[in-house]
Amino acid sequence: RLLALLGIGAAFPPLRDDVRVVDLRIYPIKSCGGISLKSSRMAPTGLEMDRVAAVVDGNGRIQTQRLRRRLAAIQPSLDPDTGIMTLA
């Protein structure tokens, strides 16, 4: 009952018929470049392989583009057959 009062789990309005996905993208490493996909499986946390890794400093603190703008230049790619990620 509390969840209903807070609006959590409330029914969503029906989707419009003219809505379509034009670009599906994941970001395997937080704050780095993304990968366009034709399809994706869902994981409990969202799209599979989205934000599964992060860059950390020597103290274990996650680095973001707010702190390190050059992270945007890191471009991951995934081999769909092996699941191996490479960085460029």
Q: What local confidence, expressed as pLDDT, does residue 80 receive?
A: 80
For residues 74 and 27, give the distance between their C-alpha atoms in angstroms, rounded to a whole number: 11
Q: What local confidence, expressed as pLDDT, does residue 10 receive?
A: 59
Q: What local confidence, expressed as pLDDT, does residue 12 receive?
A: 61
Distance of CA 6 to the CA centre of its chain: 27
For residues 43 and 26, give the distance between their C-alpha atoms in angstroms, rounded to a whole number: 12
For residues 51 and 46, give the distance between their C-alpha atoms in angstroms, rounded to a whole number: 9
Q: What local confidence, expressed as pLDDT, does residue 34 receive?
A: 95
Q: Note the pTM of the prediction, 2 decimals.
A: 0.71
pLDDT of 1 higher than 80: no
Contact (CB, 8 A) for 75 and 31: no
* Model confidence pLDDT, tens digit, residues 7-55: 665 566 676 788 788 899 999 999 999 999 999 998 888 899 999 999 9
At 6, the pLDDT band (50, 70, 90 cuts) reads low
For residues 46 and 66, give the distance between their C-alpha atoms in angstroms, rounded to a whole number: 23
For residues 55 and 71, give the distance between their C-alpha atoms in angstroms, rounded to a whole number: 9
Q: What local confidence, expressed as pLDDT, does residue 33 receive?
A: 95
For residues 88 and 72, give the distance between their C-alpha atoms in angstroms, rounded to a whole number: 11
Structure-block tokens of residue 17: 């018929």
